[in-house]
Amino acid sequence: RILEYENPNLNHLSKEAGCRFELWDCSGDQKFEACWPALMHDSHGVIIIFNPELPSHLKETEMWYSCFVQQRPLLDSQCLLVAHHKPGSAGDTENLSL
């Protein structure tokens, strides 16, 4: 799944510049691991989304960070880590300690 966005007239600090980005959903499933290098090529950032209610996701998050951030290498400032609770789950009311 891919989301593409382009804004040719982005204003920042009184300067005009273009902005183009693509968000690729690589599912995190290791059966697609062979495709990950192509997805990471020319990337400038990473968003890792995980479900903190699934114990396996905590370990997988470390693997995704290693593959997508450390091996690129990207700076931590180029990464976003999102803990997503499914609506209606017990996690909706709990605070996650990272």
pLDDT at 9: 74
Structural domain including 11 reads: 2-83
Mean pLDDT of 68-73: 84
Is 10 a domain residue?
A: yes
Is 28 a domain residue?
A: yes
SS3 labels along 22-57? EEECCCCCHHHHHHHHHHHCCCCCEEEEECCCCHHH
Is 93 a domain residue?
A: no
CA-nearest of 19, 32, 25, 36 to 3 is 25
pLDDT at 45: 87
Structural domain total, the chain: 1
20-65-26-96 Cα dihedral, nearest 10 degrees: -100
Region class of 42: left (phi > 0), else alpha (psi between -120 and 50), else beta: left
pTM: 0.68
